[in-house]
Copies of this chain bind each other. A is one copy, B any other.
């Protein structure tokens, strides 16, 4: 059921994941959902990308079961999405160190 996407000829999970996360705004969207659910327009305002692409990314993330739409609260991470986020959180701390190095 894994979609064969751009740059992922093998279908190896890590390649599919890197390809998904390597699309513009994807990582950023996951990041913005790290704490609480956000409405479509909220994401738009936070991120500053066009609604077209935000909607496209949200659709991809929903298909990948990393994000879901909760009618009452907005877009939120799924359990899988939260697992992924936990792996990405250390980037936050590291980025500060990195910024000082460059």
Contact = CB atoms under 8 A, between A and B. Distances in A.
**Is chain A's binding surface mostly helix, strand, loop or mixed?**
helix
Contacts of A92: 14
Copies in the complex: 2
A6 to B, nearest CB: 8
A73 interface: no
Interface in A1-27: 1-2, 7, 9, 13-19, 21-27
Nearest to A9: B48
Given A28-B18, A48-B7, A101 B80 contact: yes
Interface in A77-102: 80, 83-84, 87, 90-92, 94-96, 98-99, 101-102
